[in-house]
Structure 1
Amino acid sequence: MSVTQKQRQIKEIVKCGKNPKYFFNRYVKIQHPIKGAIPFRTYDFQDECVEAFEEHRFNVILKSRQLGLSTISAAYAAWLAIFHKDKNVLVIATKLAVAQNFIRKVKFVIQSMPKWLLVPQIVNNNKQALEFSNGSTIKAIPTSEDAGRSEALTLLIVDEAAFVRNFDTLWTGLYPTLSTGGRAIVLSTPNGVGGQYYDIWKQAEEGENIFNPIKLPWDVHPDRGEDWFQEETKNMSRKQIAQELLCDFAASGDTFLQVEDIEYLRAWIRQPIDKWGPDMNVWVWEYPMSTKKYIISADVARGDAQDYSTFHVIDTEASAIVAEYRGKLPPDKFAQVLAEAGRRYNEALVCPENNSYGYAVVMKLNEINYRNLYFEKEKDRYSFLYGSGDIGKIGFQTNAKTRNQILTKLEEVLRTKQVSVKSSRLYEELKTFVWKNGKAQAQKGQNDDLIMALAIGVWLYDTSPQLNKHSVDLNSAMLAGFAVNSTKIGDTVLTKSQNTTDDKSSGERKTWGENNPYTDLDWLVK
């Protein structure tokens, strides 16, 4: 080799070490699924990603499928390890096969390079790791709770982060490993609303964390137009299109409600007109009106754990949530807030969930003499009010069967827009309330307490004859029909029946006074 040629190679090595884009386009080949090994000619959007990797320590990428982001990440990892000393690159993948495939991509990049360009020697080579004589390493591993915790990392790459199991726990352990100046590339297609990846992305979009957000929908690729999109989506479901191509979090998940229903609720969010109670956690959208009837449905928690105690105040005539509470209180304190809300809203009918902590709430409500409490059977209610009824029958009993029933009713009511909702807190819960293994539930780390409280309330006023708005309207109409005759009860003359033996009643005029229970017939529909 001539001196001139060797000098030229040294210049190329230096140039490649300074500019990863130059290295990729000049010396790297990639594996094409149909064409085989082809020169790596990066697209503009890929170049912009590499520039972001160099400019920002933390990058989060929301991407469409088949944009070559895993390939560009593998090439970048190879460039970093080959041209820089003592770099520790760790790749976290969803499973072992994906981790091994990443290492194969790195190896293909290295194998395509000219021998003289690979300055460090490979001293360790296996299916999940490469080690170089310059002290640099590239390792790819499947997700686990202790993945990478003991290592000081130069670069962390999390591939398909939205699908990494327990990514929230994993990220908590991995973040400190970057504290010495390490960088992170977190990339994924969307997988529904909620979870650590979703939170990182949303906070990055709003400038609330240290991540630089990069969004790459299907049409950033220059070779993809409308015809390509139409052909590609012919045999794809709506969820697949949202997840694979559109970078749409909401439509890509198995949410309890359809995305359009969730978005409808978002459009109706309003700030409360008033707040009161502990920590001002009772939010009010409408003040009580004396002519209206209200019910209060409650979901009860212990008060010192992750879950919240919640309630909704529902105007049964307007089918509107007029107030709600969400907070962490011991059951006895929660009962006092419930009673206060009930008294403010015309002695509203209060229905707590009758679970272990709910029973403590019921006992406290009885102790402070709040009497308008829900019983499934009217006879139990009257026994409680006028006798020595069983307070264990107060409230709504939630079990596997009734839970499915009330959630089915809630989905119907929200989908058909039968109830007015203005709460941002409820909206946030609905975004992360998903189907998992055939059961509707909150995503890990999220809550569904307001949802369950509303499900109880909707079930009560929509299915119970004594509470159902339509049934009450029908009964009121029937009572109004009884009053069509202009003759008043108080003016009626009661004449003696032929069979009567009470002469004192003969021809006597009866007037039913104010204390007579039959003067006000509203009790029939309560």
Structure 2
Amino acid sequence: MALSKENAKKLKLLWEDSNKIHWIESFIKIVNKDTITVPFILTQEQKEFVDGLEKFNIVLKSRQLGLSVVTVALSIRQCIVYPNSACLLVSHDQKSCNAIFDKLKQQFNSLPKWLKPEEVANNRQEIKLKNGSKITCVCAGNKDVGRGDTLHLVHLSEFAFWKMPDKQLNSITQALAPEGKLIIESTANGLNYFHDLYFQAKNHENSYKSFFFNWINGSSLFQKDYIKAVELYKIRNGKLLEDSELEDEELMLKDLGATMEQLMWRRLKVASSGLEAFHQEYPSTDLEAFISTGSNVFSNKRIDEVEKAIIHNKTTYIPKDNIKDLPQLLQLHYGRSFFIWKIPKVGEKYYIGCDLSEGVGQDYSVIEVFNKDGEQVAEFYNNKLKPYEMAEIINAIGHYYNKGLITVEKASGGHSAIERLRYEYHYMNMSKYKSYDNFNRLVWQVGFDTNNKTKSLIINDFVELFETGQLKINSRRLLQEMKIYEINENGRMGASGTGHDDTVMATALAIVSIKNPFYYGF
């Protein structure tokens, strides 16, 4: 039967990339948890994922949110809407690879007969179509992954569990078509390459777009699990969970949107697998997802508590329009590199730590500002500004915060900045330390000399103040760096993997200012 003009128009609209979701919901069926074949109606998380995809994407998620299933559907659409497409679905082990191929076959076979292209081959975990397209399912570690193909859609599943992921990713990326899409998707697995890639993406330090999906918002896929959990909880405890019984973390989760049914389900999960395992597989925040090995310098539990408090209190930096007296130089960077949580009060003392780089796009130059009560009031970070430019920024921030006491680390770009602050800007309120010259004479040096001994001392001061509740941190970037700050097997302190620790060091230097007995007025 010929299509009516109206139906032909609708079909034409469905073929547009802006209507991917409608295409999937119109033509693809899936098998639900009750083993019934039903139209594939996407959840809110799946829709957000599909609508937000860019060329390079990295997804940190809670378990079983159906992102792999929707990626299979996207690959089928790609191969039908765009003939001669090649899609690659890579799993971390053979069992998962088989499961993905089974989903692929089921979804492909559910297509309407008039839409489904004729198959050339359907074996060895690959579907080849007569229109020139193909979808291949393989395991990570296969040396031939992506070899010889130009790939239009690539999905790398459970990437955090891959061996040598960086080498494999580089090989696959080289095969990606100019208009292709790459999706890295995984639950967390400690502080590894996936962790580094995800947080670099979140901080706009690489070309990936980051997504995070927590277990609370993915409730639509678990309704029956929650119902069973409520029944079991009532049998075990004789009653349902009440608000008055909620622990601090549960209260924060409730503020994030968790229902009482979800919290009862969570209690049963925690009882069977432990709290750390739950945090890793069912995270409520991205920081919580990455469970470390115990070599971390800072308490992960305390970091998670502080981050959840920031979310609960909706702590955010002050909008630029609400700050009336900000110097022009700082206005240029506000909202991108410079952030203020509290404007300076007349007559109050402020303490500033500066950890500087050479400004060549690698390590960051960071300035952290704290008040006398130990609250973080401002933060500046940038990896493109040269030391002489940072000296001008430090001077502006120092004057803005009532000529606060500045401690600059002397390494890297710090030497140059100290000289400019001292002799060009005549900034006098700076930390000093004692040393002895070649003639054994006592000399006062400006700045802070970081070595193995002094670094350990200032970091331990930071740890003590943080874990005893004497610091109020408002920056989630700082918390993120604290999460990956560790002692390696050689006893050296620093960020794990390719992560940064510049905000950690700047904060430790601000604490040096706080503990300094001198405050030089000028």
**TM-score bucket (shorter structure):** 0.5 to 0.7
Q: 2:447 aligns with which of 389, 395, 403?
A: 395
Q: How does 1:229-244 map to 2 (within 5 A)?
A: 229=265, 230-244=267-281
Q: Give 1:443 shift.
A: 7.6
Conserved? CA contact 2:127–2:134, under 8 Å: yes
2:387 aligned with 1:338? no
Partners of 2:146 and 2:483 lie apart in 1 by 30
Which structure 2 residue ranges, 5 or more long, are not aligned?
1-23, 230-264, 293-297
Give the secondary structure class of the aligned counterpart of 2:367.
Answer: strand
Which residue of structure 2 lines up, in the alignment, with residue 264 of structure 1? 309
Structure 1 residues 143, 409: CA separation in 2 closer, same or farther (over 3 Å shift)? farther
TM-score by length of 1: 0.58
Identity of aligned residues (%): 21
Conserved? CA contact 2:63–2:281, under 8 Å: yes
Partners of 1:197 and 1:151 lie apart in 2 by 26
Q: 1:413 aligns with which of 457, 462, 465?
A: 465
- AA aligned to 2:326 is K
Partners of 1:444 and 1:122 lie apart in 2 by 43
Conserved? CA contact 1:429–1:442, under 8 Å: no
Give the secondary structure class of the aligned counterpart of 2:505.
Answer: helix
Which residue of structure 1 lines up, in the alignment, with residue 326 of structure 2? 275
More displaced 10-residue stretch of structure 1: 99-108 or 412-421: 99-108
- AA aligned to 2:413 is Y
Q: Give 1:297 shift.
A: 2.0
Give the secondary structure class of the aligned counterpart of 2:459.
Answer: helix
Partners of 2:401 and 2:76 lie apart in 1 by 67
Q: Give 1:432 shift.
A: 5.1
Partners of 2:26 and 2:126 lie apart in 1 by 24
Conserved? CA contact 1:298–1:353, under 8 Å: yes
Conserved? CA contact 1:332–1:361, under 8 Å: yes
- AA aligned to 1:220 is L
Which residue of structure 2 lines up, in the alignment, with residue 156 of structure 1? 154
Give the secondary structure class of the aligned counterpart of 2:484.
Answer: strand
- AA aligned to 1:251 is E
Summarize deviations over 1:25-83 as a string: whole Å, max 9, x none. Answer: 5xxxx9x9xxxxxx953578x64269969986949877543566646755886798799
Q: How does 1:484-523 map to 2 (within 5 A)?
A: none
Summarize deviations over 1:280-311 as a string: whole Å, max 9, x none. Answer: 34666333644x44433211111332333232
Structure 1 residues 340, 223: CA separation in 2 closer, same or farther (over 3 Å shift)? closer
Which residue of structure 2 lines up, in the alignment, with residue 427 of structure 1? 476
Give the secondary structure class of the aligned counterpart of 1:355.
Answer: coil
Which residue of structure 2 lines up, in the alignment, with residue 491 of structure 1? none
Q: Give 1:201 shift.
A: 9.2
Summarize deviations over 1:212-266 as a string: whole Å, max 9, x none. Answer: 9898736623431255434443232334323423554232124855222123345
Q: How many residues align?
A: 416
Structure 1 residues 352, 183: CA separation in 2 closer, same or farther (over 3 Å shift)? closer
Structure 1 residues 454, 73: CA separation in 2 closer, same or farther (over 3 Å shift)? closer
- AA aligned to 1:48 is L
Which residue of structure 2 lines up, in the alignment, with residue 287 of structure 1? 344
2:280 aligned with 1:224? no
TM-score by length of 2: 0.59
Q: Give 1:352 shift.
A: 0.7
Structure 1 residues 353, 199: CA separation in 2 closer, same or farther (over 3 Å shift)? closer
Which residue of structure 2 lines up, in the alignment, with residue 41 of structure 1? 36
Structure 1 residues 72, 432: CA separation in 2 closer, same or farther (over 3 Å shift)? same
Structure 1 residues 252, 213: CA separation in 2 closer, same or farther (over 3 Å shift)? closer
Partners of 1:209 and 1:176 lie apart in 2 by 16
Structure 1 residues 321, 209: CA separation in 2 closer, same or farther (over 3 Å shift)? closer
Which residue of structure 2 lines up, in the alignment, with residue 138 of structure 1? 135
Conserved? CA contact 2:90–2:139, under 8 Å: yes
Give the secondary structure class of the aligned counterpart of 1:224.
Answer: helix
Which residue of structure 1 lines up, in the alignment, with residue 18 of structure 2? none
Conserved? CA contact 1:409–1:458, under 8 Å: yes
Q: 1:250 aligns with which of 266, 287, 298?
A: 287
Partners of 1:309 and 1:430 lie apart in 2 by 17
Conserved? CA contact 1:70–1:102, under 8 Å: no
Partners of 2:485 and 2:210 lie apart in 1 by 32
Q: How does 1:97-496 map to 2 (within 5 A)?
A: 97=94, 100-101=97-98, 105=102, 120-122=119-121, 126=124, 129=126, 131=128, 135-139=132-136, 140=138, 142=140, 148=146, 151-160=149-158, 165=165, 173=173, 177=177, 179=179, 187-189=185-187, 217=218, 220-225=221-226, 227-228=228-229, 229=265, 230-245=267-282, 248-254=285-291, 257=300, 258-265=303-310, 267=313, 268-271=315-318, 273=323, 274-276=325-327, 278-280=329-331, 281=333, 285-287=342-344, 289-290=346-347, 292-316=348-372, 318-327=373-382, 328-339=384-395, 341-342=397-398, 348-368=404-424, 369-377=426-434, 390=443, 393-421=445-473, 426-431=475-480, 433-435=482-484, 438=487, 447-462=500-515, 466=517
Partners of 1:434 and 1:167 lie apart in 2 by 26
Structure 1 residues 341, 132: CA separation in 2 closer, same or farther (over 3 Å shift)? closer
The two structures, once aligned, show a CA RMSD in angstroms of: 5.6
Conserved? CA contact 1:410–1:459, under 8 Å: no
Which residue of structure 1 lines up, in the alignment, with residue 12 of structure 2? none
Structure number, greater radius of gyration: 1
Conserved? CA contact 2:60–2:286, under 8 Å: no
Summarize deviations over 1:476-502 as a string: whole Å, max 9, x none. Answer: xxxxxxxxxxxxxxxxxxxxxxxxxxx
Structure 1 residues 310, 146: CA separation in 2 closer, same or farther (over 3 Å shift)? farther
Q: Give 1:163 shift.
A: 6.1
Structure 1 residues 202, 448: CA separation in 2 closer, same or farther (over 3 Å shift)? closer
Summarize deviations over 1:338-370 as a string: whole Å, max 9, x none. Answer: 345545656543321121322222333443454
Conserved? CA contact 1:92–1:143, under 8 Å: no
Which residue of structure 1 lines up, in the alignment, with residue 3 of structure 2? none
Structure 1 residues 397, 47: CA separation in 2 closer, same or farther (over 3 Å shift)? same
- AA aligned to 2:36 is R
Which structure 1 residue ranges, 5 or more long, are not aligned?
1-16, 33-38, 469-521
Structure 1 residues 237, 177: CA separation in 2 closer, same or farther (over 3 Å shift)? farther
Q: Give 1:90 shift.
A: 0.8
Conserved? CA contact 2:359–2:386, under 8 Å: yes
Partners of 1:301 and 1:449 lie apart in 2 by 9
Conserved? CA contact 1:77–1:106, under 8 Å: no
Structure 1 residues 130, 270: CA separation in 2 closer, same or farther (over 3 Å shift)? closer
